[in-house]
Chain A
Amino acid sequence: MAEHAWILAAVPGIAFIVMAALGRNLPRQGDWLAVLCATSIFGLFFAVLANFLNLGGGAWPVLNSIEWTAIGDFKLNMGIAVDPITIVMLAVITTVALMVNIFSVGYMKGEPRYWWYFAVLQLFVASMLMLVLADNLLLLYVAWELVGLSSFLLIGHYWERRSAVEAAKKAFITTRVGDVGLLIGIILFWEATGTFNILDIIHYVEEGAIGDTRLFVTMMFILLGAMGKSAQLPFHVWLPDAMEGPTPVSALIHAATMVVAGVYLVARLLPVFEAAGALDVVLVIGLLTALFSGVVAFAQTDIKKVLAYSTVSQLGFMFVALGAGYASAGMFHLFTHAFFKALLFLGAGSVIIGTHHHQEMGQLGGLWRKMPITAGTFLIGSLALAGLFPLAGFWSKDEILHAVEGQGTFFFFLISIAAIMTAFYTARLFVRTFLGKPQDEEIASHTRETGPVMTLPLVFLAFMSIVAGFFIFHDFGSAFGFPGGFSEFVFLHYPHAFHVDWGLVGLSTALFVIGTFGGAWFYWNGRLDRSTVMAEWQPKVYEMVQRKFYFDDLYQFLIDRVVLGFSYLVSWFDRFAVNDTGVDGSATMTGYAGFLLKHLQTGRVPNYAMAIAAGVVALTLISLAVGS
């Protein structure tokens, strides 16, 4: 079954075609088809997993490829490669996709283009699965662009709203900048090794087939693509705006799956990054991103925006782990983060539905009594994100701390700060949304808990948020068929057995306590809104944070002044040099030449006969001269 894992991608692909063609006319606009599709790939995943684990480590990675096209000597294969990293991604995608599909049935009820929403969701799942299954960079790139497309379509789902259109364009264009880098990187790889196959490329690189400088440059381009997709500094700007899309989409695409495609790509090519000496770059970018977006998350007032910056920050954590050379730590955080972040986003979606579309924290508060299930699961997700022992986030963050330990005290200190910030803004989010007194009685009076179609996915994900971290343990892993736990399942060069480092556990818990209780104390309702306090105390700093360190303004400036200025120059060149002089000019020249030459046409037949005769003589003489 593992070698036929492509079926996983094929099922939603077919579902997309069916739903895009017929969705509007199906009963219930085809949402049952979406859920059926998600359920079947969820089931199929377990078949793949069982087969994969049965085959055992000797058979990994499981390969299956066919010849795609052959042009002369140039042969292009297309196929799948299933290894532990892929399996982890498959687990995340199929699980979260199923939950999101179920949740969406409730969330999107009565929304415009209901059928189209589900159709594109299937397209996204299909392309995301294709992305992680692809055994070559070309197929990966195709899937990479397809997920970008479906992300664009889903962010812009409410295209009647101008802000949604802007956000969709922003996401598409920003990631496109990175994608161009990825494409250049792929081409450079192909030029150097003559293959797109990922395993072959890694093999060539380890043999030293590519020169140092060239390899480094190539990896920088690849990294550019990963940064764009995973919203790393300075490409992070699109992700918070992408919250314009329906909330379940945010959960699936902008928290659990698509944004981790960059992390996946780096993890997949980690040996190459290592050989290129580019790991430090990954580490620094991840660290900057984690710190930066942690700070910005303090000043956000929209639930989803906080979660978005939190996602950016956590993606930074993953990059840090990968940059430290620990594929297992990065992938493990990806794995656990997918569950609790999807939970938080779906929880936010539940809040939005329960309060009839309110998501500003200033208007909420005290939802605990009105929405107990949502609040309870949200609490579990928050604690997992903040890193409470022994929830999922704790173990994965622990692994990252462990990974960074080897990189020196400075980095370790900074990542600890980032961890505290995570706990802090998470506490702020939870406290201001669910605890205290309602800020707006009008909204509070209408608020009610959402139905089971939305709460059940929350409960399931909450369960996963609790247990997902245990996959790190040997006993837990061997129960599922991979003894040694997660870190002996996914690794860069050799597995490392996981040991609980009680010192780290203590430190980690301390970070959690500082952050969480600091945040809870600071934002506990009944006091003033501490954001206001901050704003009054240091208005400049507060404004800077709230304006996201002016990144958007900087980009706007760059686009307005530099890009548009240059465009104006180019358009001037096009209009005057190319169009007027070149195109119109040549036409005018031709016309004028014709105007002059028409006088040769006398209309008198003898003149024409004369021209013919003279021409014959001239040609004869010329041919004689040339011939002799």
Chain B
Amino acid sequence: MTTEVLWWIFAVAIVAVSAGVVFARTVIHSAIFLILSLAGVGAMYLFLTIEFIALVQFLIYGGAVTVLILLALMLTRMGIAGRPEPTTGVQAPFGALVAAGLMATLIGVAVSTAWPGDLGQNAVAVSIENIGEQMFQNFGAPFMITAALLLVAFIGAIVIARQEDED
């Protein structure tokens, strides 16, 4: 019972901070909301009793990615003279419409579908040994390819963002 109450509190909080991300007027605020949102999702993983993923979420998203985003924000800071710019584009109303439609569709599908093998509505604990075995045995090749992808992506990022000599 306690868990459920806690879950609901967290769920509402996550929705709230996620909305904060997209609706906040300042980008910095958005970034802070994003950290909270990511952390909230990490908490959700804890509710699902999968501590490994929760840990990864906190470390990579909450730590590395957010720092990266904050760095980018600082590097792309607009002119100090605060002429107030609209934060949303001209197609925002249509975007809202589409997003609302999508939300309705997703919720509708999630609620109305009879999910196969829905075991007693209980999340089952997944041991970290199991995850390790899966990842390094059955998913060994994708794991390695992902490693290569990361390497290439970061080299590419360096090349793209590099200050060129003639600039």
When distances are taken between beta carbons in the complex, the residues of chain A under 8 Å from B98 are 610, 613-614, 617
A51 at the B interface (CB under 8 A): no
Say whether chain A's binding surface is mostly helix, strand, loop, or mixed: helix
- A620 and B99 contact, Cβ closer than 8 Å, known pairs A606-B89, A607-B91, A610-B94: no
Q: Is B84 an interface residue (CB 8 A)?
A: no
Which residues of chain A come closer than 8 Å to B95, judged between CB atoms?
Answer: 606, 610, 613
**A577 interface contact, C-beta 8 A:** no
B102 CB-CB contact with A under 8 Å: yes
Residues of A within 8 A of B91 (CB): 606-607, 610
Interface: B105 (CB within 8 A):
yes
Q: Number of contacting residues on B, CB 8 A?
A: 10
> Measured between alpha carbons, how far is A71 from B102 in the docked complex, in Å?
59
CB of B101 closer than 8 Å to a CB of A: yes
Known contacts A606-B89, A613-B99; decide if A620 and B105 are in contact (CB<8 Å). Answer: yes
How many inter-chain contacts with C-beta < 8 Å in the A-B complex? 24
A613 B102 Cβ-Cβ under 8 A: yes
For residue A583, CB closer than 8 A to chain B, the reply is: no
Bound Cα distance from A28 to B11, whole angstroms: 106
> In the assembled complex, how far is the CB of residue A252 from the closest CB belonging to chain B, in whole angstroms?
78
Bound form: Cα–Cα A499–B29 in Å: 128
Once the chains bind, are A624 and B102 in contact (CB under 8 Å)?
Answer: no
Task: Tell me if B109 is interfacial: C-beta within 8 Å of chain A.
Answer: yes
Interface string of B67-97 (1 = CB under 8 A from A): 0000000000000000000000101001100
Interface status of A558 (Cβ within 8 A of chain B): no
Q: Which residue of A lies closest to B105 (CB)?
A: A620
Contact B99 A621 (CB under 8 A): no
Q: Nearest B residue to A612 by beta-carbon distance?
A: B98
A620 to B101, CA, bound (A): 11
Residues of A within 8 A of B89 (CB): 606
Please, which residues of chain B bring their CB within 8 A of the CB of A610? 91, 94-95, 98
A610 CA / B89 CA spacing, docked (Å): 12
User: Is A578 an interface residue when CB atoms closer than 8 A count as contact?
Assistant: no
Shortest C-beta distance, A312 to chain B (Å), equals: 85
The answer to whether the Cβ of A616 comes within 8 Å of any Cβ in the partner chain is: yes
Q: Are A624 and B109 in contact (CB under 8 A)?
A: yes
Shortest Cβ-Cβ A-B pairs, 5 listed:
A617-B101, A613-B98, A614-B98, A617-B102, A620-B105
A selection of 20 A-B contacts at a CB cut-off of 8 Å is A606-B91, A607-B91, A610-B91, A610-B94, A610-B95, A613-B95, A613-B98, A613-B99, A613-B102, A614-B94, A614-B98, A616-B102, A617-B98, A617-B101, A617-B105, A620-B105, A620-B109, A621-B105, A624-B105, A624-B109
Given contacts A606-B91, A616-B102, A621-B105, 4 further A-B contacts (CB under 8 A): A613-B99, A617-B98, A617-B105, A620-B105
